[in-house]
Amino acid sequence: MGKLSAGARYKALTRDLMWDPKDVDFKQIYPLVEAEGIRIKDPKRWEDPFRMTFNQYVKIQAEKEHLHHAIRSAFEANHGHARIVDSRWFEGVKAFAVAVQPAEYSAHRLMAYIGRNIPIEAIRFATFNQAVDELRHAQIEIKHYAHMSRYYDGLHAYAKTNENLWFNTVPKSFFDDALTSGPFEALIAISFSFEYVFTNILFLPFAASAAAVGDEHFASVGKSVQSDESRHMALGMAALKMLLEEDDRNVPIVQRWLDKWYWRCYRIFSVISTLVDYYPRVRAISWRKAFEMYVEDQVLNGLFKDLYKYGIRPPRNFEDTIKEKEHYSHATMRILDHYKHANYFRGFRLQPDDYEWLSREYPNTFERYYAPFFRKMDDHVMAVASPGLPAVCAVCQIPCEFPDPDHPDRMWTQYAEYNGKTHMFCSPGCRDIFLEEPEKYIQWWWPAESYLSGEFGPTLPDMFEYFGFTPEEANEHYSSRDYHRWVRYREQLGLDKTFEVV
């Protein structure tokens, strides 16, 4: 191996790993390779955009791990949790734990599924590396939650909560949808639509806010994860272009996938919009500006102009996402406040500096449509809670409470009849997806219906036992327990208990 050139060494370690089966038919080994209608003329043309061998990958990742865990160890040893300047931040980290960590773990399974079912060496090697990446991300995030659980409520039964909480159906439905798609569709769903289009909004603003409030551990998580995302984005872009260049008959298939998965990814990022705009007291950027920068400018007005030569247009419903950017985080936060009694991340009152910042960043919408709702919580944080569990969208599983961006005083809820049953959707985008694959989405799991049927148990305490936390952890204002613990920890370290602007 030492006598080989760099190019030959790379090929020897990452290529020529396929073989022609003699005893079993090729289609039996790869039964899904032709199921989607995708034509592949020359699999050897496909390239891993990073051209990395496994030993190089391990060396790079080991360096990241050593750096991250050094920061983690220092954070834990020096009581970093008490040095965070606002206890409200912990509720945002809990919301992140619900929305993102399950997605990281599911993504590693999805990449393994793609690599197993696409007989292209470059794709198999790249997805193998990414599967390991996603598992690493899930593990370092769980490490942070494990440390937090020693001091704060909500995370003490994380495995049960992660599996059973009704809100976790949002990321689960997304990845189950991808895992039950064909391998090429799954590749477009995760590597292009999720990673290339939206992932920058996921980690960059929230990690910057983590550093600003003093959560160096979580800031390190964000930076370590984002350093892998550039490779994942490159894979998504390379896979998309190779599919389009292989055969013109692939174009309408790929277009249909882009239409679907752009909207699916956009909806799963609804919770991320609140992590950008609401949970931090020190914000790096607003959701609106982040969406304009990372999605509108770079993708919709940039990339898709380049894809026009292949016959690809911007995704269906993309104009709705542009209209909704002025409302997205506020509407989603309103949903979370409606059902805060059934989640383990608590609600909170907005402070004067929150109103000032939100009004400045959203001058056309916040004061007119949303500030009156949040001011109802000034006397009691549970004043706006809705009883019971919500009616959720049959596709994205998010409660059907988004406003029509053209008429913000009206709900955007849509309906469709199928097999004698009426199905409900949060938006036209989700309704369009349902109508293309109704047999897939009629199998959805509806938490409210399951509760009424007794799946959680006969009483309300049984439901919370099923979820893995107590009613007190959900129903109390965050200042009732975690805030006082945070104050006590800061006093022990001789730190000011008030919020500090840093």
Q: What is the DSSP string of 146-201?
A: HHHHTTSTT-TTHHHHHHH-GGGHHHHHHHHHHHTS-HHHHHIIIIIIIIIIIHHH
- Please state, in angstroms and rounded to a whole number, the distance separating the CA atoms of residues 76 and 69: 10
Rg from Cα positions in the chain:
23
CATH code at 399?
1.10.620.20
Please give the share of the chain, as a percent, with pLDDT higher than 90: 38
Q: What is the pLDDT of residue 41?
A: 85
Averaged over 372-396, what is the pLDDT?
81
* Better-scored residue on pLDDT, 325 or 103: 325
With 90 as the cut, is the pLDDT of residue 444 above it? no
pLDDT digits (tens, 9 = 90+) for 412-435: 999 999 999 999 999 999 999 999
Among candidate residues 190, 187, 196, the one with its CA nearest the CA of residue 304: 196
Q: How does DSSP assign 253-307, residue by residue?
A: HHHHHHHHHHHHHHHHTHHHHHHHHTS-SS-SS-HHHHHIIIIIIIIIIIIHHHH
Q: Dihedral, CA atoms, 194, 54, 19, 245, nearest 10 degrees?
A: 40
SS3 247: coil
Split at pLDDT 50, 70, 90, the class of 437 is: very high
- Please state, in angstroms and rounded to a whole number, the distance separating the CA atoms of residues 329 and 324: 9
pLDDT digits (tens, 9 = 90+) for 340-366: 777 777 778 899 999 999 999 999 999
pLDDT digits (tens, 9 = 90+) for 205-230: 878 888 888 888 888 888 888 888 87
Q: How does DSSP assign 483-497, residue by residue?
A: HHHHHHHHHHTT---
- Please state, in angstroms and rounded to a whole number, the distance separating the CA atoms of residues 225 and 360: 31
Q: How does DSSP assign 371-394, residue by residue?
A: HHHHHTTTT-TTTTPPSS---B-T
Averaged over 163-183, what is the pLDDT?
88
Q: Could you tell me if residue 363 is inside a domain?
A: yes
SS3 442: coil
Averaged over 21-35, what is the pLDDT?
88
Q: Could you tell me if residue 11 is inside a domain?
A: no
Domain that holds residue 111: 39-488
Q: Could you tell me if residue 498 is inside a domain?
A: no
Q: How many domains does the structure of the chain reveal?
A: 1
The model carries a pTM of 0.90
Averaged over 450-471, what is the pLDDT?
75
Answer whether 207's CB lies under 8 Å from 218's CB: yes
Q: Could you tell me if residue 25 is inside a domain?
A: no
Mean pLDDT comparison of 59-63, 386-390, 496-500, highest-scoring range: 59-63
* Better-scored residue on pLDDT, 114 or 347: 114
Q: Could you tell me if residue 482 is inside a domain?
A: yes
Q: Could you tell me if residue 142 is inside a domain?
A: yes
First to last CA, the chain: 54
Q: Could you tell me if residue 56 is inside a domain?
A: yes
Q: Could you tell me if residue 212 is inside a domain?
A: yes
Please state, in angstroms and as integers, the Cα–Cα distance from residue 360 to each residue in 108, 260, 286, 288, 364, following that order: 40, 34, 10, 12, 9
